[in-house]
């Protein structure tokens, strides 16, 4: 469903993505794992049409994101929290997104209920906690009932109950045949959730496969991660 092939991205003379290739399949939760600065966000931004590649391709359901007619009905995403303006309420924000993507209004109430924000729907986003902002970001991603979800560090700011909740939500999405791609630099959250792993370090894919394939020969996912990434930063925080 999500296919990244030979992706190259440069900033000045620096190559931050070096022929990155991987696939996130339908019915699976795929974790995109790597230390800070490895190139996860850069890849996801290109996949979601927010940045241009210098080479290669990134396809959603066989097409570049920018060629999708109503993108939020194909792929829902969350990068950098909710993406909502501080002065808006959650309901206003979702109404605006729904309108711009031809999504029926009934979905607003449904997703607010689904992410546990129904009671805070009329509170301004500027007053939300980090975790509430994450929930609103997820509500926005779910609004168009997309087949695929692409989430950058989705558990940031969530408390243990929130982490458990998001795990369940993503699991159900994949079990219903959807595609989930999430990035993370935290081991613990991924070990209990992902079916497939893609490990990136210094802009290169160093390993991809099922959880069992990636961890074979190592005591734990954390051991595998350190060995594969050369002991990157920010791991296990
Ligand atoms: N606009 C930019 N200009 C210059 N360098 C950039 C730019 N955007 C990203 N980079 C660099 O590209 C590299 C990859 O960054 P990226 O944000 O994709 O990493 P990441 O794996 O998402 O890390 P993190 O977990 O910290 O978010 C980093 O070295 C970063 O400094």
Q: Which pLDDT does position 191 carry in this prediction?
A: 79
Q: Which atom of ligand 1 is nearest to the CA of 42?
A: 18
Q: Which pLDDT does position 14 carry in this prediction?
A: 95
- Ligand 1 touching residue 129 (CB < 6 A): no
φ, ψ dihedrals at 221, nearest 5°: -65, -35
Hey, how many other C-beta atoms are within 10 angstroms of the C-beta on 204? 15
Q: Determine the residue of 18, 20, 34, 38 to mutate for testing ligand 1's pocket, defined as the one with the most ligand atoms within 8 A of the Cβ atom.
A: 38
Residue finishing a domain among 145, 173, 197: 145
- Ligand 1 touching residue 38 (CB < 6 A): yes
CA distance 182 to 30: 6
* Range(s) of the domain holding residue 101: 81-145
CA distance 57 to 40: 15
Please state the domain count of the chain: 2
Distance from the alpha carbon of residue 36 to the mean position of ligand 1, in angstroms: 8
CA distance 14 to 97: 36
What band does 237 get if pLDDT is binned at 50, 70 and 90? very low
Q: For the chain, what's the residue count?
A: 237
The residue nearest atom 8 of ligand 1, judged by CA position, is 42
55 lies in the same domain as 165:
yes
What's the rounded mean pLDDT across residues 83-93? 90
Q: Are 221 and 229 contacting, i.e. CB atoms less than 8 angstroms apart? A: no
159 lies in the same domain as 220:
yes
> How would you write the chain as a 3-class SS string?
CEEEEEEEEEECCEEEEEEEEEEECCCCEEEEECCCCCCHHHHHHHHCCCCCCCEEEEEECCECHHHCCCHHHCEEEECCCCCCCCCCEHHHHHHHHHHHCCCCCHHHHHHHHHCCCHHHCCCEHHHCCHHHHHHHHHHHHHCCCCCEEEEECCCCCCCHHHHHHHHHHHHHHHHCCCEEEEEECCHHHHHCCCCEEEEEECCEEEEEEEHHHHHCCCCCHHHHHHHHHCCCCCCCC
65 lies in the same domain as 159:
yes
Q: Which atom of ligand 1 is nearest to the CA of 11?
A: 4
96 lies in the same domain as 194:
no
68 lies in the same domain as 156:
yes
Q: Are 176 and 145 contacting, i.e. CB atoms less than 8 angstroms apart? A: no
210 lies in the same domain as 182:
yes
pLDDT at 188 over 80: no
157 lies in the same domain as 236:
yes
Report the CATH number at residue 65.
3.40.50.300
What's the rounded mean pLDDT across residues 144-154? 95
pLDDT at 53 over 60: yes
pLDDT at 170 over 80: yes
Q: Which pLDDT does position 186 carry in this prediction?
A: 77
* Average pLDDT over the chain, rounded to an integer: 91
Tell me: the pLDDT tens digits for 3-46? 999 999 999 999 999 999 999 999 999 999 999 899 999 999 99
pLDDT at 68 over 60: yes
51 lies in the same domain as 103:
no
Distances (CA, A) of 14 to 9, 131, 202: 9, 34, 11
175 lies in the same domain as 125:
no
Residue finishing a domain among 123, 145, 167: 145
197 lies in the same domain as 229:
yes
Tell me: the pLDDT tens digits for 200-222? 999 999 999 999 999 899 888 88
Distance from the alpha carbon of residue 194 to the mean position of ligand 1, in angstroms: 23
What band does 234 get if pLDDT is binned at 50, 70 and 90? very low
- Ligand 1 touching residue 135 (CB < 6 A): no
CA distance 79 to 138: 10
pLDDT at 50 over 60: yes
Residue finishing a domain among 145, 163, 187: 145
169 lies in the same domain as 232:
yes
Q: Which pLDDT does position 235 carry in this prediction?
A: 36
pLDDT at 74 over 90: yes
163 lies in the same domain as 139:
no
The residue nearest atom 3 of ligand 1, judged by CA position, is 11
Structure tokens at 196: 């497939």
């Amino acid at each position: 469903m999500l296919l990244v092939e030979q992706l190259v991205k440069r900033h000045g003379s620096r190559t931050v993505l070096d022929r990155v290739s991987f696939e996130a399949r339908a019915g699976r939760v795929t974790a995109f794992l790597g230390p800070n600065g490895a190139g996860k966000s850069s890849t996801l931004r290109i996949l979601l049409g927010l940045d241009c590649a210098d080479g290669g391709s990134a396809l959603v359901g066989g097409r570049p994101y920018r060629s999708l007619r109503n993108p939020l009905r194909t792929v829902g995403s969350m990068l950098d929290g909710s993406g909502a303006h501080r002065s808006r309420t959650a309901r206003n924000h979702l109404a605006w997104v729904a309108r711009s993507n031809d999504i029926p209004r009934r979905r607003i109430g449904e997703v607010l209920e689904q992410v546990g924000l129904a009671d805070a729907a009329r509170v301004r986003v500027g007053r939300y906690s980090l975790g509430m902002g994450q929930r609103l970001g997820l509500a926005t991603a779910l609004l168009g009932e997309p087949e695929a979800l692409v989430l950058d560090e989705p558990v940031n700011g969530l408390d243990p109950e929130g982490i458990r909740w998001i795990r369940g939500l993503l699991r159900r999405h994949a079990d219903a045949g959807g595609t989930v791609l999430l990035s993370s630099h935290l081991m613990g959250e991924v070990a209990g959730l992902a079916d497939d792993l893609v490990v990136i370090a210094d802009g290169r894919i160093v390993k991809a496969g099922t959880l069992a394939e990636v961890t074979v020969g190592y005591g734990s996912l954390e051991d595998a991660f350190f060995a594969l990434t050369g002991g990157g930063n920010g791991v296990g925080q």
